[in-house]
Every structure is written in structure tokens, then in C-alpha cells.
A and B are shown apart, each in its own frame.
Chain A
Amino acid sequence: MRFANLFRQRRPDSDKKIATQRLQLVLSHDRANISPGMLEKLKDEIIAVISKHLDIESDQVCVNFQKNYRETRLVADIPLKKHTGRSKRV
């Protein structure tokens, strides 16, 4: 089995994996009724709002859907800049 994996790892993603990933993406957009373009716009707006109050790494912001059973939630991962708040004043 491990021997077979040696060859398998060199190959790009299997068709099964690609299909699963594409489905995952399509289903999350379908369920939330939002297009990928709209999600991108939403992300920009979130960045704009948060930036008013916090120093954030805006190019590392990740806004995505997370699926748990048949419940979907929008999860935003927004890293703060390392030297903010107190350290800035020093």
C-alpha cells in the first residue's frame, strides 16, 4: 500500500477529490444563496468596517463558509497586525 502511495503522491489531485472540492464550494454558495463574486464584495466591506476600529492584516483576511451537518455558517478569520494598541504607543 505504501509502495503504491509513492507513485500516487506524484500525481495531481484525483478526479474524485476535485469533484468533491468543487461540489463543496458550489453547495455552500447555493445554500447561502450568494455568488462567489458577492462573497468577495462582502469580504471587502467587512475589511473596511473592521479596519475603522482595528489594525488588521487585510490581505490575510479569510471569509468562507463552514458546513456542519446541514447547517452552514459564515466564518471570518481576521488576523490583527502584530504591533498594535499598546506597543504602538511605546
Chain B
Amino acid sequence: MSGKIITISSGKGGVGKSTTTANLGIALALLGKSVICIDADIGLRNLDVMLGLENRIVYDIINVVTKQCSLRKALVRDKHCSNLALLPAAQICDKSAISEDEMERIAREAAEQADFVFIDSPAGIEHGFRYAVKPADLVLLVTNPEVPAVRDADRVIGLLEAAGRAPVQLIINRLNPELVRRDVMLDADSIVNLLAIKLVGIVPEDPAILIAGNRGQPVVLDKQSLAGKSFRNIGRRLTGEEIPFMSLQAPSWLQRIFRFQR
């Protein structure tokens, strides 16, 4: 078996890479796929807390690189889905502890054991970014509807194109439909137009994401949440299903009044 290796990247920090990785990992596991999530942000690990697995970690990626333990032994099984596992980042080392080739070897080994391997890339465009995208079959670029985030995303696309690397697809995270309606926030069309890459999903801003992060229960498990549904839809698109984009248009005040009357 050789699964698909998908790296989640962004350039800019804080746009929701780890949130996206955790949620897409669970989304695909819920679809019955076997999934391994690799936290590549060595020194600043966070995917473990997003998934609520911080108390179960024994080994980390550096133990696997230095052959102190096998990949299988270092994997932490998820508590929500038994077919999802996490390879945690090391917390006391820094990014120079791992080379591009070593990351590629680990990701390929993981892909032999799973249908999907997600690599949560560190922010920035330095060594950590380079080793995270090296083994990727697909790079999912996460951005926010803000000028700095879109600019950094464009920079990452340029770097990946120049290196002849994997295809890049876009996820717009934290879109606020109400602000878009009032013409104060960049809309998805403008961003896709500027970046000129394929869009795989739009995730609306949703307080449920914050709460999910606090509890270590990714929002994708929340059937009520719109953001959760977005992540489930992206998961299905990654398996090749054609899912139309949800309408995220916020109702205008007139529509709201009429809805109230009905």
C-alpha cells in the first residue's frame, strides 16, 4: 500500500495549519480511511493538543529519525478514531535535527501503512517548510482572507512552482460571511483569482473551532458546526468525491426580517 502524502502549509503562522491538519485527519478517518498525521513543527509541537493526545505521547519523530524506536512504536493512536494515528514532533530539539531526506523516508514509510499521510508544516519558508513539502504528493495551502496571509501564500506557491514541486491547492480558513457581505473582507473569489490555484475548501470563522481546540476535540466531530461540515466536505473532496461548495452567504438584514416573519 502506498498512501497519499499531503502537506499542510501556509507561509504565515497562525492561519490554522494545525487545526486544518487535525480536522482533515479525523474527517478522512471518519470516512473509513487509515490516516497518519505527522507533526513536522519540531520544537513547537501542537498537533497533539489539537487532537487531545498530549498525555499519551511516549516517543516522537526524532526518536524515529535516530532509530531509537520504530515508526509503528512512536505512533499515538487517536482516541476518537482508531484508524488515525499521530507521529508527534519533538519538543526539546529544533528543526535542524531532521533533514529533508529523513523526513521523506519517514513519510514514505508512513504512507506504506496508511491511505493518507498528513504533514503539518511549520510556518515560514525555511528549512522546516522545505523538509515538510519534500515528500508531498499534494500541498494544501491554508490562508486567511487578509492581505499578509494571502501575500505569504503567494510566496509559497511561487517557491513550490520554482522547485517543480507537488501541485498546490487552496483552503481559505476563517472567512467571515457577514464581513464579506458588508464588503469589508476579501471574498473567496478575489483570493482564488489573485492566487490562481485550485480551491478545495472554505472554512467559515466559527467560535466552535476555539472551543474544540480548548477541549482537544476537533470541530469536525461537531455535527452542528458549519466549520465542522466544511472540514468533512474537504475530506470527501480529497478522496475524489465532487462536493459542491456550501453557501456561506450571510443573510442581509432584509432577508433576516423576512425569515423572521415566516
Contacts and interface: CB of A to CB of B under 8 A. Distances in A.
Interface of A: 14-17, 19-20, 22-24, 26-27, 30-31, 67, 69-70
Given A20-B190, A24-B194, A15 B184 contact: yes
Nearest to A70: B196
Given A14-B184, A19-B186, A23-B150, A69 B194 contact: no
A17 B187 CA distance: 10
B190 A16 contact: yes
5 contacts: A15-B183, A16-B180, A19-B186, A24-B194, A30-B151
A23 B186 CA distance: 10
Contacts of A26: 147, 151
> What DSSP secondary structure best describes chain A's contact surface?
helix
B185 A30 contact: no
Contact of B154 (A14, A19, A20, A31): A31
Residue of A19, A30, A31, A70 most packed against chain B (CB within 10 A): A19
B155 interface: yes
B178 interface: no
Interface of B: 146-147, 150-151, 154-155, 157-158, 161, 180, 183-187, 190, 194, 196-197
Contact of A70 (B147, B157, B187): B157
Contacts, number: 45
Given A16-B190, A30-B154, A70-B161, A23 B184 contact: no
Given A15-B184, A15-B185, 4 more contacts: A16-B183, A16-B186, A20-B186, A23-B194
Nearest to B187: A16
A27 B157 contact: no
Looking at A24, A27, A69, which has the most chain B CB atoms within 10 Å of its CB? Answer: A27
Nearest to A24: B194
Contacts of B190: 16, 20
A17 B190 CA distance: 9
A20 B196 CA distance: 14
Contacts of B147: 19, 22-23, 26
A23 B151 contact: yes
A9 to B, nearest CB: 13
B61 to A, nearest CB: 32
B183 A27 contact: no
B184 A27 contact: no
A69 B198 CA distance: 11
A17 B183 contact: yes
B196 to A, nearest CB: 5
Nearest to A15: B184
B226 to A, nearest CB: 21
Contacts of B155: 30
